[in-house]
Structure 1
Amino acid sequence: MAQRRLLSPVLVFLVMTAGGGVLGAGIGRLLRQGGGVLPRPEPGPLLAGLLVWVVAGIALHELGHPAGGLRAGFRFILYTVGPLRVAREARGIRVGLNRAINLAGGVVLMVPRTPDARPDGLASFIAGGPLASLAAALERD
């Protein structure tokens, strides 16, 4: 049974990868036929820009978690994305450099203020991130 569970995600990954390759090849063919309208990008700035957008997307997603957690009455403890670290310390909120590489992918830590917190509080905290990502994806002018 475990092998069957693994097969499904692997198959989805392979189909998505093949689909992306076919789509990329088709776009490349169209650009060549159109006389190469777009200039060939330099890899350095392209990768730097991609990294900035990925970190910005993660930061936006992670900001949704405190929004949901604060709505539920949770207490903020930690927000980390890439090199940024925002943490509650004894003397207040402190912004600094994230030195923990394992937290660079984005982490938010909040705790209920009381042991008898609302049952839906955790759901609100968890759903805040995906809802922020969804709102950003749907936002169009």
Structure 2
Amino acid sequence: MLIDPRAPRFAAAITTGVLAVALLGGGTPLLIVQAVVFAITAANPRLGPYGLLYRLILAPRLTPPTELEPAAPVRFAQVVGLIFIGVALVGQFAGVPVLALAATGAALAAAFLNAAFDLCLGCLGYLALRRLLGRPLAARVPAGS
């Protein structure tokens, strides 16, 4: 499955906002919502709530993408995000706020890098892992290929 690379970047921008608000005091409820979003998107990037918003609201107003990217790296990145938010929630529920803050901050930093600079750390990790296993995958392909 190939996807418009602008959709995960849009999702990362929303995630950045959600996690920033969570760090500023939104806490556990926002982390739970974000964990659900990560889980849904990891299962199928086309069903992720933020991706749906992108496809319904923004995509019709934009020119078609010139490149597409495989969904697998995006799914992997969502799993990594889910793990970080899971650790943050464990910190919240266990009464270890420094763990919650550190894990939320790490997820926020990764989301911000993707949103602001199109640098998806989880995607890069996935592509590096594929290269190490001798099964390289192109990060992007021309649309229509």
TM-score, normalization by structure 1 = 0.29
Which structure features the higher share of strand residues?
Answer: 1
Q: Rg bigger for which structure?
A: 1
Higher relative contact order (CA 8 A, sep 6+): 2
Which structure features the higher share of helix residues?
Answer: 2
